[in-house]
C-alpha cells in the first residue's frame, strides 16, 4: 500500500527566474522570443518600406517641388531629434547591459533617461507640427489654423488662389526672391483652413536659370506637372509640394506613433526593473524592447536626410 509520502514524492526541478511553463529551458525561451521579435521587425520593415517607396517614386518625378518643400523644413529641429534618438539608443543599450549584470539601480536610471529622450523627441515633433498648423502646411483641408482676412491687420491684400485659399504672389525674379527672403512678416490668411504655400518658388527659379545655361533640371513629369498651356502654374506647383507634406506627415506621424508605443514599453520595463525582475539569468524583455527601440531610431536615421536634407544643395547654389 502506497504511503502518502510515496504518492506525493516528486523529483525537484529548478526553474530559472522568468521561465514560462511552455518552454523546457531558458535557452529555448530566449530563442523563441528572439525569433518572434525579429519576425515582427521584418514586418515593420516591409511596412515602412512601402512608405519609403512611395516617397522615392514621387520625389523622382517631382524633385524640384520636393526640394522646395524640404528646404522649408527646420533642419535644426530635425538634427536635434536625430541627436536625441542616437543618445537614447545608447541609454537603451546600457539598460540591457545593466540588466545582464543584475544592477537594478542602473537599469532604472538608464530606462528613465531613455524615456526622457523619447519624450523630448515627441516634444520637438509637437513644435514642428504646431508650426505647420500655424502656417497652413497641413495637407488636409480644414486642419490648418483658420484666420479670416478681417482678423489680420496688415498693409496690402494677398492674391486669392483658385481653390479659395489666400496665397501670396509667387516670386518671379531673382531680385524679388532676394527681397522676399528678407520679409519674414508675411500675413497668414486662411479662412477655410486649407493647405497653402506662401514661400515662393526659389528652387524652381534656380533650376530654370541653370537650364538656360544648358543644364537639364526638370524631369519629364515636371515639364507637364508644373505648367499649363506652356506657362508656369503656381497652383500645380503647390499641389506637388502638397504631396511632399502628405508623405511627411504620414511617415513622421507613424514614426511618432511607434515612439509612443516604445514609451509604453519603457513604462512597463521601468516598473519591472524597479521590482528587481531582471537579472543575469532573465533579461529577455529588456533586450527585446531594446531591439524595438533601436529599430524606431534607425527608421528616423533614414527619415531625417530624406525629408530634411535632400535638396539643401539648392540653397548652397544660391536658390534662396
In tens digits, the chain (320 residues) has pLDDT values of 555 545 454 554 545 555 555 545 556 656 666 787 889 889 999 999 999 999 999 999 999 999 999 999 999 999 999 999 999 999 999 999 999 898 999 999 999 999 999 999 999 999 999 999 999 999 999 999 988 877 766 444 444 443 444 343 343 444 444 444 443 456 788 888 899 998 888 888 888 888 888 788 888 999 899 999 889 999 999 999 999 999 999 999 999 999 999 999 999 999 999 988 888 777 888 998 999 999 999 999 999 999 999 877 665 544 44
Given this model, what pLDDT does residue 81 score? Answer: 97
Residue 208 lies in a domain: no
Residue 90 lies in a domain: yes
Given this model, what pLDDT does residue 182 score? Answer: 40
| Residue 294 zone, left/alpha/beta (φ > 0; ψ -120 to 50; rest) | alpha
Closest among 247, 253, 204, 300 to 58, alpha carbons compared: 247
Closest among 199, 68, 69, 190 to 134, alpha carbons compared: 190
User: How many domains are contained in the chain?
Assistant: 1
Given this model, what pLDDT does residue 207 score? Answer: 86
The label of the residue with cell 537639364 reads 216
First to last CA, the chain: 98
Given this model, what pLDDT does residue 180 score? Answer: 45
Q: CA angle 253-127-184, nearest 5°? A: 120
Given this model, what pLDDT does residue 27 score? Answer: 62
Given this model, what pLDDT does residue 119 score? Answer: 97
DSSP state of 73: S
Residue 105 lies in a domain: yes
Residue 15 lies in a domain: no
Note down the domain range covering 254: 38-140+241-316
Residue 107 lies in a domain: yes
Closest among 81, 85, 108 to 262, alpha carbons compared: 85
Residue 263 lies in a domain: yes
Burial zone of 145 (CB within 10 Å; 0-12 exposed, 13-18 middle, 19+ buried)? middle
Closest among 69, 123, 100 to 290, alpha carbons compared: 100
DSSP state of 308: I
CATH number for position 310:
1.20.120.80
Residue 115 lies in a domain: yes
3-state helix, strand, coil in the chain (%, to 5): 65, 5, 30
Amino acid at each position: 500500500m502506497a504511503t502518502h509520502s510515496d504518492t506525493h514524492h516528486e523529483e525537484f526541478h529548478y526553474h530559472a527566474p522568468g521561465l514560462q511553463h511552455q518552454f523546457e529551458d531558458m535557452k529555448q525561451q530566449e530563442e523563441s522570443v528572439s525569433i518572434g521579435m525579429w519576425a515582427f521587425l521584418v514586418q515593420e520593415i516591409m511596412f515602412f518600406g512601402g512608405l519609403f517607396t512611395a516617397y522615392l517614386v514621387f520625389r523622382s518625378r517631382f524633385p524640384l517641388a520636393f526640394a522646395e518643400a524640404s528646404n522649408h523644413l527646420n533642419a535644426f529641429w530635425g538634427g536635434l531629434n536625430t541627436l536625441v534618438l542616437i543618445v537614447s539608443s545608447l541609454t537603451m543599450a546600457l539598460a540591457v547591459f545593466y540588466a545582464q549584470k543584475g544592477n537594478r539601480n542602473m537599469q532604472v536610471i538608464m530606462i528613465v533617461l531613455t524615456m526622457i529622450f523619447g519624450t523630448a523627441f515627441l516634444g520637438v515633433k509637437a513644435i514642428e507640427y504646431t508650426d505647420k498648423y500655424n502656417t497652413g502646411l497641413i495637407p488636409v483641408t480644414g486642419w490648418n489654423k483658420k484666420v479670416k482676412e478681417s482678423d489680420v491687420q496688415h498693409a496690402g491684400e494677398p492674391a486669392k488662389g483658385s481653390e479659395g485659399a489666400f496665397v501670396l504672389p509667387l516670386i518671379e525674379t531673382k531680385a524679388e526672391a532676394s527681397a522676399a527672403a528678407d520679409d519674414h512678416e508675411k500675413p497668414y490668411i486662411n479662412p477655410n483652413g486649407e493647405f497653402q504655400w506662401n514661400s515662393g518658388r526659389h528652387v524652381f527659379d534656380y533650376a530654370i536659370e541653370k537650364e538656360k545655361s544648358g543644364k537639364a533640371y526638370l524631369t519629364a513629369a515636371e515639364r507637364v506637372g508644373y505648367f499649363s498651356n506652356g506657362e508656369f502654374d503656381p497652383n500645380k506647383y503647390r499641389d506637388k509640394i502638397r504631396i511632399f507634406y502628405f508623405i511627411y506627415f504620414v511617415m513622421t506621424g507613424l514614426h511618432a506613433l511607434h515612439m509612443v508605443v516604445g514609451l509604453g514599453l519603457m513604462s512597463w520595463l521601468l516598473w519591472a526593473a524597479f521590482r528587481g525582475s531582471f537579472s543575469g539569468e532573465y533579461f529577455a524583455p529588456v533586450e527585446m524592447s531594446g531591439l524595438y527601440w533601436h529599430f524606431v531610431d534607425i527608421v528616423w536615421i533614414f527619415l531625417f536626410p530624406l525629408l530634411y536634407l535632400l535638396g539643401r544643395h539648392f540653397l548652397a547654389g544660391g536658390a534662396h
